[in-house]
Amino acid sequence: MAAQRIFFVTQESLSIWTAGIRGPERIAVFSGADGVREFDAYISLTPEHTAAMLVDVIEEEFALETIPKLNARDRKSLIARRSERKYRRTPYRLSEFQGKTGPGDAEFSVLHSAISNRELLDPWLEVIEKHRVALSGIYSVPLMAPTIISSLARVTAPTLFIASHQDTKLRQIFMKGGHLMSARLSQSPGLDQEGYAQFIVTEAQRSRRYLERLRILSSMEILEVRVVADSEMANRISKLGEGELSTQFSFIAPEDASGKLLGETRRNKGQFEIVYLSEILKRRPKCSYATSGENRFWTMRSMRYAIMGGATVVAVVCSMLAAYFLNEAAVLRDDVARIRAQVQQLTETYRAENDKFGPILAGSHEMKLAVDTGDHILLNRLPVPWVMNQLGAVLGKYPEIQVRELTWQANLPAAGSKKPNRRGNRPTKVSVPEVEQVDAILTADITSFDGDMRKAFARIDQLTSDLESQTFFSEAATEQYPLNANPAASVSGEIGTDRPEFARFRIRATYNVADAAGMGEG
C-alpha cells in the first residue's frame, strides 16, 4: 500500500505533494507563523487520505562508529543504548548496521542518524496525529540516497554525490563501499548565479577535509565527486577543479537522471528532491524515523486491510470448495439414483425368472440324509487336540526331530458290508456311513543330521515304538525311511550331497474314532 500524498518538510515550510500525470505535483505550501494553523484546517478536510513524510533539513546529524562482534540480541541492545546516548534530546533517531568494516576485521560498522531539532517536526506531527491520519513513516533524503544513487550509477569507490535541492540548497551525500557514511545540506547560490560552479568546488574540498578529520576518508584515497549538472555547468566546474589531484569530478546530466528515475527528461533541474518524492509515491522506503508511534494509524489500517483481504480470500476459497462439493454431491446423487434403478431392475428380473420354476420338494430320504450328515459331523469330528497331545507327549523326548507335515486319512467301512437290493425293489434309505478309524500321517526331519544312517534308522524305529506303546494310538508304523537297502523301498532325503543337512521320514499312526473321542471327553 503506497501513500496517496507526501508531506515534504524543509527548513522553512511543509508542502503537500501528490502523484500527477508527469510525476509528483505540489498542491499546497504552509510556512510562517500561521502555517501550522492553516495545515490543521487543510488536513481536517481530508483526514482519511494516507500520507508519508519526507524530511530534507540541515539539522540531520550522522555519526559512524564501530562495535565488536556480538550476538543479535546483545548487538541490538548495544546499538540502542549508544544511539540514545548520542541523541538523547530527540525521538527521531535511527541506527543502521552496515556489517564488517573490512574483509579481515573483527569489528562492525554502525551509522547513527537523527534529526536533532525536533521542533521542525513536532508541530506538524501533532496536527497529523490529532486528525488520525494514516502516516506510513518519516523518511529522510540522505537515508533514501543510496537507493537513488545506485539507480543512477555504479558506486564502488568513495563517492561524494552533489545535487541542487530546493533551488537554493546543496545536498551532499558521501558513500563508501555502497553504504551511506555522511550527508550535508547547506545554503548555496542558485543554479543561474555566477558563483555556483566555484561553490561546488569549494564545498567538495570542504567535505573532503571534514571526512578526513572524521577518519572516514584517507588522505591517500581519491574522492570521486559526481555532480548533477548540465554540460555548460559541468565545463565550468571541471576547469575550476583541474588542480585537485585527489579529487575527480564527474557529471550526470539532469535529463539523464530524470529519464532513468522518472521516465521523462523534462524536469526542473534545480529540484532534485522530486526524485525522492517520486520514489515514495511508488513504494514505501525501508528506513523511517517514526519509532515513537507516529505511524500507528497506518499500521492499524494495514492490519484492517490485511484482515479484510484475508477474509475475502477465505470466502472465495470456501465458495470454490462449496461449488466443488455441490458438484460432487450432484454426481453422487445421480450415481445413487442409477444404482437404485439397476437394483430395482435386477429384483424384477429375479422375480420374473423365479416365477418360471416350480417349488423344489424334498422327500423323506433327502431330509434324513441331510440330518444324518450333520449328526455325523458333530459326533465324529476329528479330535485334533487329542492327536496333538498324544504326539507332543512323545516328540518332547526327541528334540532333534522337527515335524514338517501332519495329514489325515479316514478309513470307511468295507464296501461288501452293504446288502444287495433285489430287482424291482426301491433303494433302501440309508444314513451316511460312520468313520471308524482315522490315520494321522506324520512327516518329519531329523535335523543336524551327521550322515549316520544306522543311528537315524534306530531313532525312527524307537519313535515308532514309543508312539505305539506310550500313546492311545491303536497302531504305529514307519511308512518311509530316509534310506532303505531294500530295492522295493522308497528313498527320500538329500542324497546328492556327501553330508545331507537332514533325514526325512514318514510314520502312520492309526486310532479308533470312538475311543479317541471318549478319551478327549474324559
pLDDT given at position 58: 92
pLDDT given at position 343: 93
pLDDT given at position 45: 92
Pairwise CA distance, residues 310 & 303, whole Å = 10
The answer, yes or no, to whether residue 429 has pLDDT greater than 60, is: no
Pairwise CA distance, residues 474 & 516, whole Å = 10
Please give the grid coordinates belonging to residue 32: 510562517
Rounded average pLDDT over 168-189: 89
Which pLDDT tens digit goes with each residue over 91-117? 999 999 888 877 767 788 899 999 999
pLDDT given at position 496: 45
The answer, yes or no, to whether residue 124 has pLDDT greater than 50, is: yes
pLDDT given at position 519: 57
pLDDT given at position 54: 94
Rounded average pLDDT over 109-128: 92
Which whole-number Å values give the CA distances from 377 to 125, 296, 371, 412, 414, in the listed order?
102, 90, 10, 14, 20
Which whole-number Å values give the CA distances from 439 to 106, 142, 384, 409, 512, in the listed order?
94, 107, 12, 5, 9
- Per the CB < 8 A criterion, the answer to whether 18 and 31 are in contact is no
Lowest-pLDDT choice from 75-79, 177-181, 343-347, 441-445: 177-181
Which pLDDT tens digit goes with each residue over 54-72? 999 999 999 988 888 888 8
Strands laid side by side in the 108-115 sheet: 60-67, 108-115, 93-100
The number of helices, as runs of H, and strands, as runs of E, in the chain is 13, 17
Please give the grid coordinates belonging to residue 337: 439414483
458 torsion bin: left (phi>0), alpha (psi -120 to 50), beta (else): alpha
> What residue has cell string 537297502?
485
User: 499 — phi, psi (to 5°)?
Assistant: -140, 90
Rounded average pLDDT over 465-492: 75
The answer, yes or no, to whether residue 351 has pLDDT greater than 90, is: no
Pairwise CA distance, residues 226 & 256, whole Å = 13
Q: In terms of DSSP bridges, do strands 60-67 and 51-55 run parallel, antiparallel, or are they unpaired?
A: unpaired
Pairwise CA distance, residues 281 & 262, whole Å = 11
User: Packing angle between helix 384-395 and helix 513-521, nearest 10 degrees?
Assistant: 80
The answer, yes or no, to whether residue 203 has pLDDT greater than 50, is: yes
Pairwise CA distance, residues 87 & 116, whole Å = 7
Q: What angle do CA 269, 274, 280 make, to 5 degrees?
A: 160
The answer, yes or no, to whether residue 162 has pLDDT greater than 80, is: yes
Rounded average pLDDT over 321-328: 92
Mean pLDDT, the chain, rounded, equals 83
Full DSSP string of 73-85:
HHHHHHHHHHHHH
pLDDT given at position 263: 62
Give percent of the chain with pLDDT exceeding 90: 30
The answer, yes or no, to whether residue 488 has pLDDT greater than 60, is: no
- Across 43-66, b (16+ Cβ under 10 Å) vs e yields beeeeeebbbbbbbbeebbbbbee
Length of the chain as a residue count: 522
**β-strand partners of 222:** none
- Per the CB < 8 A criterion, the answer to whether 214 and 64 are in contact is yes
Question: Which one is predicted more confidently, 477 or 253?
Answer: 477
Question: Which one is predicted more confidently, 301 or 519?
Answer: 301
Sign of the Cα torsion 461, 465, 467, 470 reads: negative
Full DSSP string of 72-135:
HHHHHHHHHHHHHHHSTT-S-EEEEEEEESSTT-S-EEEEEEEES-GGGTHHHHHHHHHTT--E
Pairwise CA distance, residues 135 & 128, whole Å = 8
The answer, yes or no, to whether residue 144 has pLDDT greater than 60, is: yes
Q: Residue 40's pLDDT band (boundaries 50, 70, 90)? A: very high
Q: Which residues neighbour 293 within 8 Å (Cβ) at sequence distance 6 or greater?
A: none
pLDDT given at position 18: 92
Q: Residue 522's pLDDT band (boundaries 50, 70, 90)? A: very low
pLDDT given at position 368: 66
User: 160 — phi, psi (to 5°)?
Assistant: -110, 115
SS3 55: strand
Lowest-pLDDT choice from 96-110, 285-299, 364-378, 443-457: 364-378
Q: Residue 451's pLDDT band (boundaries 50, 70, 90)? A: confident
Which pLDDT tens digit goes with each residue over 240-294? 888 777 888 888 888 777 777 776 655 556 678 888 898 898 888 888 898 878 8
pTM listed for this prediction: 0.60
Give percent of the chain with pLDDT exceeding 70: 82
Q: Residue 497's pLDDT band (boundaries 50, 70, 90)? A: very low
pLDDT given at position 486: 45
- Residue 407, classified by CB atoms within 10 Å of its CB into exposed (0-12), middle (13-18) or buried (19+), is exposed
Question: Which one is predicted more confidently, 507 or 359?
Answer: 507
- Per the CB < 8 A criterion, the answer to whether 94 and 114 are in contact is yes
The answer, yes or no, to whether residue 165 has pLDDT greater than 70, is: yes
pLDDT given at position 493: 44
Pick from 260, 31, 61: nearest CA to 142: 61
- Per the CB < 8 A criterion, the answer to whether 14 and 35 are in contact is yes
- Per the CB < 8 A criterion, the answer to whether 113 and 142 are in contact is yes
The answer, yes or no, to whether residue 375 has pLDDT greater than 80, is: no
Which pLDDT tens digit goes with each residue over 204-219? 999 999 999 988 888 8
Q: What is the identity of the amino acid at 178? A: G
